[in-house]
Amino acid sequence: MKFNLEVYLNLSADANLAQNVLNEFFNNEANIIIQKGAPAGHGAKIIEYNVNKNIIKLVIESDQYVRAHDALLRLRKPLASIMGKEFKIGIRQINIEKFTIEIESEKPVNNKIPYVKNISFKDGIIKLELDAGTSGTLGQSELENRIPDRIINLIEEKLEDYGGKSEHWELLWESAPKSFNFDKDPTKEMMKEGWIKRGYNRGQWIYGPEATHLFRTFEKIVLKEVIEPLGYSEMIFPKLVPWEVWMKSGHAQGVYPEIYYVCPPKTRDPEYWEEVIDHYKVSQEIPLEIIKDKIDLPIGGMCYAQCPSFWGFLNKTTLPTDELPIKVFDRSGTSHRYESGGIHGIERVDEFHRIELVWLGSKEQTLEQAEKLKARYKFIFEEILEIQWRKAWVTPWFMAQEGKSGLADMEGAGTVDYEAIMPYNDNWIEIQNLSVNAEKYTKGFNVKSQNQEPLWSGCSGVGLERWASAFISQHGLNPENWPEKFKKYFGEMPKGIQTL
C-alpha cells in the first residue's frame, strides 16, 4: 500500500523569516515523528517542502505503517509549536491539493466510492485518486475524521467479497418428525376461508377476526409462558426510527436496501400544498412528482427491527447493579421491511407483527436469561403448539450487517434461529430468533453499570405471521385438529365477516 499526499498549510503570517527553523525541523525532527512506530526503513517521508510567504507546501509519501494523512496530523502540533513560540505564526487551514492511494489487488473494484474521484486498475494495483483540491469533497475535517482509513477499509471489504460467502448455519437441535393431516398453502387456505385479505400495499395483509384471534392467542401464550414467569415488563418502543439510532445500533452499515424511508413535509403551510390539493381535485390522481419536490430529506425509516428504538431510553445512563438484569418487551405496533421480490404469503411480508424481548445485565446474567428463554420456547413448541421445529446457530445479525460470516468471536454471543417445517412445500422457515449481542448495544448507546463491569444484552423476536404460517401449515384451519393445550388458550372461534 502506498500513499502520496500533497497539501498546503495556510499560515496566519509570512513564514519566510522562520525559514532556517523550518529547514531544521523538516530535515530532522519531522522525519523522526513520521516514522515512529514503523519498522526500520518504513513509515512516511517528506519528499518536498517549501515556504512561500504564508503558505507551506508539503508532499508526503508513505507505506501502510504510517499512512501519509496520519503523518501530516502528527506534524501539525509540533510544527505549530515551533512557529508559534518564536514567530507567533499559527496554522489556519490545511488544504489538500492531491491525495492518491495505491493498493495491491488481484482484481479491480468497480464501485463508486465516497470521496474518491477516480479508480483505476493496472498491473495488480488499484489506484485511488481522492476528490481533493479547491472543488473537492476531501478536506481537513475529513482527514481528522479518518475518512481515508474508512475508504481503505471499504475497499478491502469489497475485495474480500463478503457477499459471496455463505452465512454460517449449524443445527443445534431438531424435534422428532411428525405426521401431518394438512398439506396446503396456509395463506391460500386462509384467503379461501375469508380469514385474511391482501392490503393495498405490497407485502401487506388485513387480518379478519379469525386470524386476529389466532395472533392474540399466540400473544397470550407468550405472555403466560414466557413474559410472566421470567418477569419481563412491557414498554412501547417508537416505530419511526431516526438515523441516530441506527448509527449507534450498527444497522446504518447496511440497512438501506430494506427499510421504508420517512420524509416529512418541508412545511405544513396549506398554501404551500395548494398545488397538490388542486391537482387532485381536478385530475383525481395523486401528483407524486409534485409531492416529491415538496417533501424533505428522510429523517429515518419505519421500524425495521424493534429493539434499537428501546436503547434511546437508556442512552448515556449508568444502571444500578442491583437493578440488573433489566427485562422488557414490546408488542405495540408493526415492523416494516422491504422484501424485494421475496414476498410470499403471510410468512414473508413487508409489514409484520412481532413481540420483541430485550434484556441486559452482566455477561453471566445475559447468557443465563438466554438459556431460560430457550427452555420456555422449547416448552411452547413441544407441549402447546406441537409443531415440528429446529434451532440453528447462525451468523449473528451484527456480523451479517457488516458483511461477515461465521460465528461471533465473543464467547457466548451470537444468534439462534428457530425454524419450522412447512409440509405443503417441504421447506423450513424461520419463525423467530434469539440473539446475544454482547456489548454491541450497550457500547453503542453508552450504557454503563454502577460497578463498571461490561454490560451485555440480548434480544428475541417472536414473529406472529411466521408462527401462524407454521402452525396452520402443520395443523390446518379446523380447530378440531389443533392440539388440546392450544385449544384451551384459543377458546371459541370468533365469527368472521361474511360478504356476498
CATH number at residue 136: 3.30.70.1920
Annotation marks residue 150 as catalytic: no
| 353 and 205 in a common domain | yes
405-to-82, 169, 298 alpha-carbon distances in Å? 50, 10, 30
Question: Pick the catalytic residue: 356, 386, 419, 465?
Answer: 356
Nine-digit cell string for 176: 422428532
Q: Which residue has cell 496566519?
A: 12
Annotation marks residue 459 as catalytic: yes
Annotation marks residue 337 as catalytic: yes
Question: Pick the catalytic residue: 14, 430, 439, 453?
Answer: 430
Annotation marks residue 74 as catalytic: no
| 347 and 215 in a common domain | yes
Annotation marks residue 417 as catalytic: yes
Question: Pick the catalytic residue: 74, 337, 386, 465?
Answer: 337
Residues 274-278: what's their mean pLDDT?
95
- The answer to whether residue 273 is domain-embedded is no
Lowest-pLDDT range of 162-166, 444-448, 464-468: 162-166
Question: Pick the catalytic residue: 6, 70, 347, 417?
Answer: 417
> Where a domain ends, among 160, 182, 216?
160
Residues 413-427: what's their mean pLDDT?
93
Annotation marks residue 123 as catalytic: no
- The answer to whether residue 284 is domain-embedded is no
Annotation marks residue 129 as catalytic: no
Q: Where are the beta strands (DSSP E) in 350-426?
A: 351-361, 389-394, 414-422
Residues 182-192: what's their mean pLDDT?
95
pLDDT reading at 404 higher than 90 = no
CATH number at residue 209: 3.30.930.10
Per-residue pLDDT tens over the stretch 199-247: 999 899 999 999 999 999 999 999 999 999 999 999 999 999 999 999 9
Nine-digit cell string for 236: 412501547
| 190 and 90 in a common domain | no
| 173 and 151 in a common domain | no
- The answer to whether residue 140 is domain-embedded is yes
| 308 and 186 in a common domain | yes
Structural domains in the chain (count): 2
Coil vs helix vs strand at 51:
strand
> Where a domain ends, among 160, 194, 227?
160
- 162 — pLDDT class (breaks 50, 70, 90): very low
pLDDT of 156? 86
Annotation marks residue 303 as catalytic: no
| 175 and 82 in a common domain | no
Structural domain of residue 387, as residue ranges? 169-263+298-490
Question: Pick the catalytic residue: 339, 351, 439, 453?
Answer: 339
pLDDT reading at 371 higher than 60 = yes
Question: Pick the catalytic residue: 348, 350, 354, 419?
Answer: 348
Question: Pick the catalytic residue: 67, 74, 354, 466?
Answer: 466
pLDDT reading at 401 higher than 60 = no
Q: Where are the beta strands (DSSP E) in 362-500?
A: 389-394, 414-422, 427-438, 448-449, 456-463
| 333 and 307 in a common domain | yes
> Where a domain ends, among 136, 160, 184?
160
Residues 326-342: what's their mean pLDDT?
88
Residues 374-392: what's their mean pLDDT?
97
The set of residues, in sequence order, having a beta carbon less than 8 Å from that of 137 and lying 6+ positions away, is 114, 115, 131
Q: For residue 366, give the amino acid letter.
A: T
208-to-193, 205, 324, 493 alpha-carbon distances in Å? 10, 10, 41, 12
- The answer to whether residue 268 is domain-embedded is no
| 480 and 345 in a common domain | yes
| 397 and 332 in a common domain | yes
The percent of residues in the chain predicted with pLDDT above 70, rounded, is 95
- 293 — pLDDT class (breaks 50, 70, 90): very high
Among candidate residues 440, 250, 432, the one with its CA nearest the CA of residue 329: 432
pLDDT of 96? 94
| 182 and 128 in a common domain | no
Among candidate residues 478, 201, 499, the one with its CA nearest the CA of residue 351: 201
- 12 — pLDDT class (breaks 50, 70, 90): very high
Contact 419, 392 (CB under 8 A): yes
Lowest-pLDDT range of 21-25, 263-267, 320-324, 406-410: 406-410
Contact 60, 47 (CB under 8 A): yes
| 484 and 400 in a common domain | yes
Among candidate residues 130, 125, 78, the one with its CA nearest the CA of residue 106: 125
C-alpha 86/C-alpha 280 separation (Å) is: 72
pLDDT of 1? 92
Question: Pick the catalytic residue: 6, 131, 330, 459?
Answer: 459
Question: Pick the catalytic residue: 63, 307, 330, 350?
Answer: 307
**Helix, strand, coil fractions of the chain, as percent rounded to 5:** 35, 30, 35
pLDDT reading at 438 higher than 70 = yes
Compute the mean pLDDT over every residue in the chain, rounded to the nearest whole number.
92
Per-residue pLDDT tens over the stretch 197-207: 999 998 999 99
Residues 342-354: what's their mean pLDDT?
87
pLDDT of 160? 75
Per-residue pLDDT tens over the stretch 451-478: 999 999 999 999 999 999 999 999 999 9
Lowest-pLDDT range of 97-111, 166-180, 275-289, 431-445: 166-180
- 165 — pLDDT class (breaks 50, 70, 90): very low
pLDDT of 413? 87
Lowest-pLDDT range of 60-64, 131-135, 285-289, 353-357: 131-135
| 248 and 198 in a common domain | yes
Annotation marks residue 348 as catalytic: yes
- 406 — pLDDT class (breaks 50, 70, 90): low
Contact 167, 159 (CB under 8 A): no
- The answer to whether residue 280 is domain-embedded is no
Question: Pick the catalytic residue: 63, 347, 433, 437?
Answer: 433
- The answer to whether residue 224 is domain-embedded is yes
The number of angstroms, rounded, from the C-alpha of 97 to the middle of its chain's C-alpha atoms is: 35
